[in-house]
Amino acid sequence: MVEIDKIKAAVAGISQGRASGIKEKDGAISMMVDVAGLDQAGRESLAESIKAAVAAAAPGVPLRLLQTAERIVPKLIAVASGKGGVGKSTLSTNLAVAMRRAGRAAGLVDADIYGPSQTRLLGLEGVKPEAEGKKMFPTIGAGGVPFLSMGQLAAPGQPIAWRGPMAGQALSQLVDAHWGDVREIIVDMPPGTGDIQLSMIQKHKPVGAVIVSTPQDLALMDATRAIGFFNQAQVPIIGLVENMAGYICPHCGEVSDPFGRGGAEAAAAELGIPFLGRIPLDISVRLASDAGEPPALGEGPVAGAFADIARRVSTWVDNHRGAAA
């Protein structure tokens, strides 16, 4: 008997979400593979990898592989928080970088109208995107991440005083751009749970949301509100990230916990949602971010923490896509 779940898991690990409709019929496995954006060599390589994965998971079972090249509609992954100042934008940047570094076709949209900062975090302040007609082309930031930012739609330093519908229209400009082969877009949402956030997710519904919090109780209260907001909007929660979890002394390496530790993990368990990981309070994160060099591009514990979170988010997205297929 063919174990479809086993085959889906094997294919998900190498297809980057391009495989769908995996099923068994008349003793054979069939699936569709979206090859849009791949050259001939890339298509052949992907097909061979999938065939090898299926052969390992189900030896001797025939495989029918249908390649399609439909227009790619990127999946949106919201990164949100109930309040500002918890490191949401830094996580968004490094999540996109880490996913890209792991071979995912990830992009980034800076939808935080209160404080668009991705141009600084990705090292491209002052760079405006090119456009063709009414559609923009993303600029390429650090780590090869294609991105567009609300900050690119306004003059430097100019406050963006928009109500919900206008913010939703601006988000449309960023999402409906020429994204090429980008398959997942990390959306750095404005903090909070008001009209602007609601207008945005109603216009462009994410496949899931990552919630960011620091360990202390006040931040977790706001994170819980954000989780409730997405639940009401019927957007699945991918998981909770604990940021600024432990200060690493740059001199002796000792770790202390000025904001506490483990609060987000405990809250995730209580709420029944996945805990995606924690990011330490490390001065290297601030220095690298200010310099436009995302820490996820480097090596060491901080880069490893971002990579682990990116892996868990990617696995969730692949499983979600597989369940929907």
Number of C-beta neighbours around residue 205 at 10 A = 12
Say which DSSP state 95 is in: H
SS3 176: coil
Please report the pLDDT score of residue 70 as a whole number: 62
Its pTM stands at 0.75
Cα–Cα dist 176/186, whole Å = 14
Please report the pLDDT score of residue 323 as a whole number: 47
Cα–Cα dist 23/4, whole Å = 7
Please report the pLDDT score of residue 169 as a whole number: 79
Phi–psi pair at 280, nearest 5 degrees: -75, 160
CATH superfamily of 75-324: P-loop containing nucleotide triphosphate hydrolases (3.40.50.300)
Please report the pLDDT score of residue 49 as a whole number: 92
Q: Which of 160, 262, 163 is nearest to 220 (CA)?
A: 262
Please report the pLDDT score of residue 255 as a whole number: 74
Cα–Cα dist 6/2, whole Å = 9
Please report the pLDDT score of residue 260 as a whole number: 62
- Annotate 220-249 with b (16+ C-beta within 10 A) or e (fewer): bebbbebbebbeebebebbbbbbbbbbbbe
Q: Which residues of the chain have pLDDT under 50?
A: 322-325
Please report the pLDDT score of residue 325 as a whole number: 39
Please report the pLDDT score of residue 324 as a whole number: 42
Task: Provide the token pair at 80.
Answer: 């949100």
Task: Provide the token pair at 162.
Answer: 């928009």
Please report the pLDDT score of residue 321 as a whole number: 67
SS3 34: strand
Return all residues near 303 (Cβ < 8 A) that are at least 6 apart: 98, 295, 296, 297
User: What's the angle, vertex CA 8, arms to CA 234 and CA 6, rounded to 5?
Assistant: 120
Domain covering 4-68, topology:
Alpha-Beta Plaits (3.30.70)
Give the relative orientation of helices 217-232 and 263-271 as an angle to the nearest 10 degrees. 30
Cα–Cα dist 6/21, whole Å = 14
User: Do strands 237-248 and 139-140 pair parallel, antiparallel, or not at all (unpaired)?
Assistant: unpaired
**Domain spans of the chain, in order of start:** 4-68, 75-324
Q: Which of 325, 278, 274, 273 is nearest to 302 (CA)?
A: 278
Contact between 276 and 210 (Cβ < 8 Å): yes
Cα–Cα dist 223/280, whole Å = 18
Please report the pLDDT score of residue 271 as a whole number: 87
Mean pLDDT taken over the chain? 85
